[in-house]
Structure 1
Amino acid sequence: MAGLKSINQPVNFKFPKRSFGKKNPELRSFNPTWFKQYAWLHYDEAKDLAFCFTCMVAAKEGKISNFKADGSFISTGFCNWKDATSKFRKHQDSDCHKEAVERKVKLPRETKDIGEVLSAAHSEEKAHNRQQLLTILRNIRFLVRQGLPLRGHDNDQSNFLQLLKLHGESDPSILKWLERKQDKFTSADIQNEMLQVMALKILRDVASNIRENGYFSIMVDETTDQSNREQVVIVIRHVDSNLDVHEEFIGLCMVPSIDAATLTNVILDALVRMNISLSKCRGQCYDGASNMSGAKKGVAANITSKETRAIYTHCYGHALNLAVGDTVKKSKVMRDSLDTVFEMSKLVKYSPRRDTILEQLKREMAPDTPGFRVLCPTRWTVRAASLNSVLENYSVLQSLWETCYECTKDPEARSRIIGVKTQMQSFDFLFVVSLGYEILRHTDNLSRTLQKKDLSAAEGQHLTDLSLTSLSAMRKEESFDSFWESLNGKLNELDVSEPTLPRRRKMPKRYETGKAPPEFTTSEKDLYRQQYFEALDLVVNCVKDRFDQPGYQVYRHLEDVLLKSVRGDKTYKEDLDFVLKFYGDDLDKTSLSSQLDTFTTLARNNLNDSSTVSVSFLVTLVSQMSPASRCLFSEIVTLLRLILVMPATNATSERTFSALRRVKTYLRATMSQERLNHLMILHTHREATDALNILAVANDFVSARDGRSFIFGRF
């Protein structure tokens, strides 16, 4: 081997014959057609031996591990021509030959220069390896994008490997890759590394966009995951130069406690890791818990102490939910009736038998009505739908209780059925469920609207005012008369008692003031009119109290600077002075004053009536401008971005909780926090995951370890 320079594959040589076998010996010789099938074969004419040229060269240069060396094809030579074909195949599939090919790769027969041959062969093998790695990365991207688990209890049955095998049906080279004993790049550790590369790539883009857009708001919420660990969700809201709103999930953080100090440190640490400056924070949106909204030591107060322009707003979704809860708690008739509806939900949905009976009765009696909806006290937007399902299926439900009572033997269940049945026969229950539906359909509609991520806090306030106006319009005699007539019209169709006056009771003496005689309602209609108006007053006042937030007053000044100037109201200068003082160097006083005059003229030219101007109209007007025209109103754009950057609700965090339940199920409860974060980022940022440059991901993965560049090269 000392003088080995080129492969020797003689064709016209007279190959000597050897004897094989003892009882019936037969003569066999080397067959030159083997050169075509196995291009690596090297024949030694003097010794009548066959070698593997690729392995010989690799061994000479020390490129093969000793424990993998196949001596019969490298040093001693091979001459068992009887079993040659099977032995050649076995050597070609051996780890020794594969390693030599990885280092030197196949030899083109027409090439005789050893350096050129090995370089070309190695490049071919790298190209093959790159193709397999890209397939692996694409499979991982698909699974995490869909929120599907990669691994399984048995690794061979995992989604990841089964998906690779599915691709192998059309590309057998993948199946061959999976048969390798090492360097398959499919292990759990490799998966984690690939997930990290992809997730960090998305996070870097998100952080870059936030820094480029400047102002942002912080949105934080907390939940408990499947493994009973406290997870803090952090979302950043920012507005780009086109006035498009973005809400970006940037990570989960497992915390030992949810006290204000811990959560504040988590938020600040996340901003530091993303290289985002707190000085650009202009808003905070959390729920109303004391650890978040505490006036002295809450998270909002801690952040505001570091950046005074980071205004806190109580999430409108939570605020509206609390306002509705306050209304129900303060109205006894509504509280009792909704408790009955909740009890009905439990009786039906917690019993498959009763649920089946309900479906059968519904098909027979009211096939066109909507199904029965569960009343969930913690959901924001399902109360009205649940009450409506009770009204639409009133007769069906009454028949259900009669049927279930006869076939139920459990005393406790029978007593609960009797209680619900009795309640549904009373006029009070029908009255309150109908009234509750009329009120809650407005609040549920408002809640659904507030959850849109591109909705600002300012727009949320305006929509709330519109809903309150609609509720206030119901507080009229005409509205009550119409409601009362429709309710009495149902009494002929339903098994419900007529309205009656309660027994007159004299007030205890300790509560009496003066000597005037006690007053009592003279008719049933007057009694229920009082309850009708009381419920409407309660919901309007509760919503107003919850939405009257100090932080909104600053945004009101921001709005009024633009709206009043367009309407021609000179008092906008007072709002302008407040805004310039509060936001400081965010706005330039001289430029803003001159731009307001020009912008007012532009807005009025596009409006039929300047009194109807709104923030949404101004946003649309500016976003339709060309970038060059927008530069003329740079300070106006800044004003609009400061208005839009504050969210109406923290609904994106709530949606992230839903994604967390899909990703971290009870079967995946033991995954590490780092892997969970990477999976969540790739799953929640679906569009960014789809747009990932797989070649760039592959290059980052390969460059992370020195040995990988030798296997894959450059993508």
Structure 2
Amino acid sequence: IKNGPMQPKLSQYPQQKFRLKKRSFQYHWFEKHNWLEYSKKNAAFCFACRYLGLKNTKDSLLSNGFNNWKRALDSFREHEKAAVHKGSMLAWAAFRNSEVHGDVVQQLQAANENEIKERREYVRRIVTLRVCLSLLRKQGISFRGHDETEHSQNKVNFMECFNLLTKFDPFLQKITKRHLINEVILCCSEQVTFSIVSELKTSGIYAIMADEARDKHKEQLALCVRYVVTATGSVKEHFLGFCDLKSFSAESITESIQHCLRDNGLEDLQCVAQIYDGASVMSGATGGVQAKFQQYHPEAIYVHCYAHQLNLVLCHMCKAATDFFNTLENLYTFFSASLIHHKKFSDVQAQLGLKHSELVQLSDTLWSCQLRSVNALLTNFTAVIQCLSEIQSTTATGLLTKLCDLPMVCCLFMFHFLLGTTEGFHKVLQKENLDLAQAVDLKEAVYSALKNMRTNEMAKALYDKAKTFCTNNNIDIWEVEPTVRRKKQKRMDDFLVESTCDIREEISGLDNFRMKLFYPSLDRILSEIGQRFSSVNADLMKGVQACNPS
């Protein structure tokens, strides 16, 4: 079979007499019928049918051989039309193909090996892309961007890194890019989530933390878990996923949390605590999320986030000096909104030998902004005063007048002192390894420290520091003895009042500073800490410590 049909070329093939003519086999028949072979018996056979076809047939090309040369061409054409011959030819072609590429099993094995090789190359490229993933992760850069279309001049961060590697690797050019980025992100997400869930199930108990997060026009609930690693005893906090919110009702939020827990196989695991902000829909004792979540997890006590409570305390305290913080915000806007003013501010810093730094914008959600804004002004006070005095504008003159005032400087030092006292507590509350005992002890320590500072001596020390600062910066100090308070005119005929910022308590002298600013602000923060930090957690902590005094 490997040698193929016998097709000898003879100078003269044996002749047979057909009536009056003698006829013989013709060699050129081989060219037209490649399956044809010739035997020494002066007979023709079909090679394909003889070796690879059916044996029980009456066709002479298969049995005894064909030698009727008179109608040879007609017989050959009829034989080629037969189904048996066509099947034999296919079998012969497959045999010849197997000789070159191997048999069916060998071809399947080769195809499988090629597929395995290609997949391994694909995985190798995926692993190689860890360079991109590590870079984005290290720099805190998002994978996706605003415009992911092919015609975008600035595609997503991952795709830009991927395109750079593609230029040097032809194999990556064959990979569908959008499919790849989604696959990589999904694989990373599944692996990280699987690791977190495995540790959670080993731990046996956990706590959840949830807060709302808006993505453009879509409301989501960010769900985090907190648990203790059994092997090491260390505390871990991890982001578990986003829950889509259909509405802002307590039922909808609770169901979203439960759905996320069910998807990760945590529904039946014991949840011992739930931490949210103080919004009524979350903290309501009867109709809030915490009450409805306890129907599924009775052991899950509700804890109002301590860091959020402290932020509310500080924000409430700062509202007592609205004019002061409005001035800080106006200063930031004045120097950041104008490139000319910002350049002037930088030049003055360089002239005075100050380290270059920026003023800080206030924010109700970025909790450390109040102290950072106060510290920034205190550090750059001299540069700010000089800039405002050299800039010829009504806004600069108004800001300069406000700053060159003893009450303003007193507020600056007082809030630097009060906010600085709570800053350490602020940072500790946001550590993932903080436990309830430390939080309660720190709250008590900060409360006691602030309470002990409510003395005339502390007020005098802050007031004297402010006076010294004013003297060093050539700010005139006007101290007036306390007088009978002048009654403010409440009715202003023929005038439209657009702002009440200037209607404030005048602070002139130590007694006024102590009675009208320092004590009220300190009393406000002490009252807020006492009210907002519930004693329920303290009682719970005493019970825990009774079980384990260490």
Alignment TM-score > 0.5, same fold: yes
- How do 1:216-255 residues align onto structure 2 when only pairs under 5 Å count? 216-225=206-215, 227-241=216-230, 242-255=232-245
Q: Does residue 1:558 correspond to 2:544, yes or no?
A: yes
Post-superposition offset of 1:164: 4.9
Q: 2:528 aligns with which of 542, 549, 553?
A: 542
CA distance 1:503–1:6, shift in 2 (3 Å): farther
Partner residue, 2:204: 214
CA contact (8 A) 2:276 2:303 kept: yes
Partner residue, 2:42: none
CA contact (8 A) 2:410 2:462 kept: no
Partner residue, 2:429: 450
CA distance 1:173–1:506, shift in 2 (3 Å): closer
CA contact (8 A) 2:101 2:107 kept: no
Q: 1:326 aligns with which of 291, 312, 316?
A: 316
Letter in 2 for 1:280: Q
Distance 1:117 1:271 in 2: 49
CA contact (8 A) 2:361 2:373 kept: yes
CA distance 1:391–1:299, shift in 2 (3 Å): same
Partner residue, 1:504: 483
Partner residue, 2:305: 315
Letter in 2 for 1:207: V
Q: Does residue 1:288 correspond to 2:278, yes or no?
A: yes
Q: 1:420 aligns with which of 396, 399, 414?
A: 399
Distance 2:511 2:98 in 1: 102
Post-superposition offset of 1:289: 0.9
Partner residue, 2:519: 533
CA contact (8 A) 1:139 1:164 kept: no
Distance 1:220 1:117 in 2: 58
Q: Does residue 1:402 correspond to 2:389, yes or no?
A: yes
State the Cα deviation string for residues 368-400 of structure 1 (Å, max 9, x = none): 375422233332112222112212222221222
Post-superposition offset of 1:172: 4.4
Distance 2:294 2:443 in 1: 26
Letter in 1 for 2:306: Y
Letter in 2 for 1:463: L
- How do 1:347-358 residues align onto structure 2 when only pairs under 5 Å count? 347-358=334-345
Distance 1:131 1:324 in 2: 57
Q: Does residue 1:152 correspond to 2:138, yes or no?
A: no
CA distance 1:394–1:156, shift in 2 (3 Å): closer
State the Cα deviation string for residues 348-380 of structure 1 (Å, max 9, x = none): 223332222211111112423754222333321
Post-superposition offset of 1:174: 4.1
Distance 1:203 1:389 in 2: 41
Letter in 1 for 2:226: R
Distance 1:458 1:141 in 2: 41
CA contact (8 A) 2:159 2:181 kept: no
Q: Does residue 1:475 correspond to 2:454, yes or no?
A: yes
Partner residue, 1:390: 377
Distance 1:492 1:194 in 2: 63
Q: Give the count of matched residue pairs.
A: 433
Post-superposition offset of 1:144: 5.5
Partner residue, 1:604: none
Partner residue, 2:45: none
Letter in 2 for 1:320: L
CA contact (8 A) 1:428 1:499 kept: no
Distance 1:460 1:137 in 2: 44
CA distance 1:504–1:207, shift in 2 (3 Å): same
Post-superposition offset of 1:494: 1.6
CA distance 1:156–1:542, shift in 2 (3 Å): closer
CA distance 1:155–1:143, shift in 2 (3 Å): farther
Question: For the aligned residues, what is the CA RMSD?
Answer: 3.4
Q: 1:432 aligns with which of 381, 386, 411?
A: 411
Distance 1:550 1:193 in 2: 47
Distance 1:319 1:464 in 2: 11
Q: Does residue 1:133 correspond to 2:122, yes or no?
A: yes
Post-superposition offset of 1:320: 0.3
Distance 1:201 1:506 in 2: 69
Distance 2:188 2:373 in 1: 43
CA contact (8 A) 2:346 2:356 kept: no
Distance 1:272 1:550 in 2: 30
Q: 1:118 aligns with which of 100, 107, 111?
A: 107
Distance 2:486 2:151 in 1: 76
Q: 1:492 aligns to what SS in structure 2?
A: helix
Partner residue, 2:444: 465
Letter in 1 for 2:326: D
Q: 1:459 aligns to what SS in structure 2?
A: helix
Q: 2:331 aligns to what SS in structure 1?
A: helix
State the Cα deviation string for residues 264-286 of structure 1 (Å, max 9, x = none): 11011111111113561110111
Letter in 2 for 1:130: R
CA contact (8 A) 1:501 1:527 kept: no
Letter in 1 for 2:466: L
CA contact (8 A) 1:337 1:429 kept: yes
Post-superposition offset of 1:323: 0.7
Q: 1:247 aligns to what SS in structure 2?
A: strand
Structure 1 stretch displaced more, 145-154 or 157-166: 157-166
Distance 1:396 1:6 in 2: 100
Post-superposition offset of 1:197: 4.1
Letter in 2 for 1:338: F
Q: Considering Cα pairs closer than 8 Å and 6+ residues apart, tell me whether 1 or 2 has the greater RCO.
A: 1
State the Cα deviation string for residues 1-45 of structure 1 (Å, max 9, x = none): xx6x699xxxxxxxxxxxxxxxxxxxxxxxxxxxxxxxxxxxxxx
Post-superposition offset of 1:206: 2.0
Post-superposition offset of 1:506: 5.7
Distance 1:192 1:368 in 2: 45
Distance 1:389 1:113 in 2: 79
CA distance 1:367–1:166, shift in 2 (3 Å): same
Distance 2:545 2:428 in 1: 20
Partner residue, 1:298: 288
* Structure 1: unaligned runs, 5 residues or longer: 8-45, 48-103, 179-183, 409-413, 509-520, 564-617, 619-715
Distance 2:256 2:102 in 1: 62
CA contact (8 A) 2:274 2:300 kept: yes
State the Cα deviation string for residues 66-88 of structure 1 (Å, max 9, x = none): xxxxxxxxxxxxxxxxxxxxxxx
Distance 1:127 1:216 in 2: 42
Post-superposition offset of 1:214: 1.1
Letter in 1 for 2:383: V
CA contact (8 A) 1:395 1:495 kept: no
CA contact (8 A) 2:481 2:509 kept: no
Q: 1:251 aligns to what SS in structure 2?
A: strand
Partner residue, 1:264: 254
CA distance 1:161–1:120, shift in 2 (3 Å): farther
Partner residue, 1:273: 263
CA distance 1:424–1:484, shift in 2 (3 Å): same
